[in-house]
C-alpha cells in the first residue's frame, strides 16, 4: 500500500533527517521534493501546493532552523499535515436507527457489492442484526453476487428479482427489516461505468425515499484523480456522508486517499484491503500518515 509515495517522500526527507543544522534553503529544497512526491502520487495539484506551503510556514514558524534535530522536527510537521489532509480524526459511520439504513453509491466495479458484504460482516461481528439488500436491477448477476456473499458470511439478503424499481425494493427491504427485527439495512445500488444522469437520478430517488442514516460513496483508490473527480460528481448530487476507498492493497501511489477529503470535504470512513470478506479497515488518518512516512 502506497509503496511508491512512501519511498519518494522518505527519500525527500532523508537528506535533512541526520543534519544538525539546516537553512531555509535546505527546507525549501526538501519541500520541493515532497511536493514532487505528492504530484507523482497523483495528488491534486492545488492540494499538493497548499499542503507543502503550510508545512513550510509551520516549519519556519516553529524555528526549525535552530532546533536540535531539525530533520526530525520537519518529519513530525509533515506527518501532522498529512494526517490533517486525510481528515485529522477518524469518523465513525452512523448506525443509529430502527433500523439504521446504510446506502451504498459509486460506479460499477468500484467494489460496492464486495464492500456491502464486508460491512455486513463487520457489523455482524459487533453483534448487530444486519440485512443486505440488492437494488441493482440491471444486472441479475449482481443479485446473485450479493446472495453468494450473504450466504458466505451468514447474513440475510433481501432481493426482488422481478422488480425493476430500486426505490420500491429499498422501501420493501426496510419494511421487511422492521418485521423481522433487523437493526441495520445495507442497500447495495446499481453503478455505471461512468457518471451518467440516469444513475444519478436513480440514486437520488432512492436516497430521498429511504432517508438513509448513512450514505457511503465507494471508490477504487487505484483510479487516483479520477476517483476524486467521481467523488465530487456524486457529492454534488447526493451529498454523501463518507467515503470508502477500496483496493488500497493494489494502490502504490495514494493520490485519492490524500486528495479526496480536501476536495469534497467528506471523511474517508473505511478502506478495502483485499477481495476477501475480512479485507475491511476503519480509516485512521494518523495511522495512514505514519505508514506513508514509514
Ligand atoms: P461493484 O460493481 O461496485 O459492486 O464492484 P464489485 O464489488 O463487484 O468489485 C469489483 C472487483 O473488485 C471484484 O473483482 C472484487 O473482488 C474487487 N475488489 C473489491 N474490493 C476490493 C479490495 O479492497 N481489494 C481488492 N484487491 N479487490 C477488491
Q: Where are the alpha helices (DSSP H) in 96-223?
A: 112-125, 140-153, 166-180, 197-210
Q: Rounded to the nearest 10 degrees, what angle do helices 197-210 and 166-180 cross at?
A: 30
244 Cα: distance to centroid of ligand 1 (angstroms)? 12
111 Cα: distance to centroid of ligand 1 (angstroms)? 4
Residue-level pLDDT at 193: 84
CA distance 264 to 192: 21
23 Cα: distance to centroid of ligand 1 (angstroms)? 48
Helix (H) / strand (E) element for 71: namely helix 70-85
Distance spanning both ends of the chain, measured CA to CA: 11
What lines the ligand 1 site, CB under 6 Å? 106, 108-114, 191, 246-247, 249-250, 272-275, 279
Residue-level pLDDT at 94: 97
Residue-level pLDDT at 67: 80
CA distance 168 to 160: 10
Strand order from edge to edge, sheet including 268-272:
156-158, 130-135, 184-189, 100-105, 214-220, 242-246, 268-272, 280-282
- pLDDT lower than 70: segments of the chain: none
Strand partners, 132: 157, 186
ipTM of the complex, rounded to two decimals: 0.99
Residue-level pLDDT at 139: 83
User: What residue has cell string 517522500?
Assistant: 9
Residue-level pLDDT at 236: 96
Please provide residue 218's backbone torsions phi and psi, each rounded to the nearest 5 degrees: -100, 130
> 0.90 cut: is pTM over it?
yes
Tell me the per-residue pLDDT of 110-155, one tens digit each, with 9 for 90 and over. 999 999 999 999 999 999 999 999 999 888 899 999 999 999 999 9
Residue-level pLDDT at 294: 84
Amino acid at each position: 500500500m502506497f509503496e511508491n509515495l512512501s519511498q519518494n517522500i522518505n527519500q525527500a526527507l532523508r537528506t535533512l533527517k541526520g543534519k544538525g543544522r539546516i537553512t531555509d534553503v535546505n527546507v525549501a529544497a526538501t519541500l520541493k521534493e515532497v511536493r514532487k512526491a505528492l504530484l507523482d502520487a497523483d495528488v491534486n495539484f492545488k492540494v499538493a501546493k497548499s499542503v507543502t506551503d503550510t508545512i513550510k510556514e509551520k516549519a519556519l514558524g516553529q524555528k526549525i532552523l535552530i532546533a536540535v534535530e531539525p530533520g526530525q522536527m520537519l518529519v513530525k510537521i509533515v506527518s501532522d499535515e498529512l494526517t490533517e489532509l486525510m481528515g485529522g480524526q477518524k469518523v465513525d459511520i452512523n448506525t443509529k436507527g430502527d433500523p439504521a439504513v446504510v446506502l451504498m453509491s459509486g460506479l460499477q466495479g468500484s467494489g460496492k457489492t464486495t464492500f456491502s458484504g464486508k460491512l455486513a460482516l463487520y457489523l455482524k461481528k459487533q453483534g448487530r442484526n444486519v440485512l443486505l439488500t440488492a437494488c441493482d436491477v440491471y444486472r441479475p448477476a449482481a443479485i446473485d453476487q450479493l446472495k453468494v456473499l450473504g450466504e458466505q458470511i451468514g447474513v440475510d439478503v433481501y432481493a426482488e428479482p422481478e422488480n425493476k424499481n430500486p426505490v420500491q425494493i429499498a422501501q420493501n427491504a426496510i419494511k421487511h427489516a422492521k418485521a423481522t427485527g433487523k437493526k441495520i439495512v445495507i442497500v447495495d445500488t446499481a453503478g455505471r461505468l461512468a457518471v451518467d444522469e440516469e444513475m444519478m437520478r436513480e440514486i437520488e430517488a432512492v436516497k430521498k425515499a429511504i432517508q438513509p442514516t448513512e450514505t457511503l460513496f465507494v471508490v477504487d483508490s487505484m483510479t487516483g484523480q479520477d476517483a476524486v473527480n467521481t467523488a465530487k460528481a456524486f457529492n454534488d448530487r447526493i451529498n454523501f456522508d463518507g467515503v470508502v476507498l477500496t483496493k488500497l492493497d493494489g494502490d502504490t501511489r495514494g493520490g485519492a486517499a490524500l486528495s479526496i477529503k480536501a476536495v469534497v470535504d467528506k471523511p474517508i470512513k473505511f478502506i478495502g484491503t483485499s477481495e476477501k470478506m475480512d479485507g475491511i479497515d476503519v480509516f485512521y488518518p494518523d495511522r495512514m500518515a505514519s505508514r506513508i512516512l514509514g
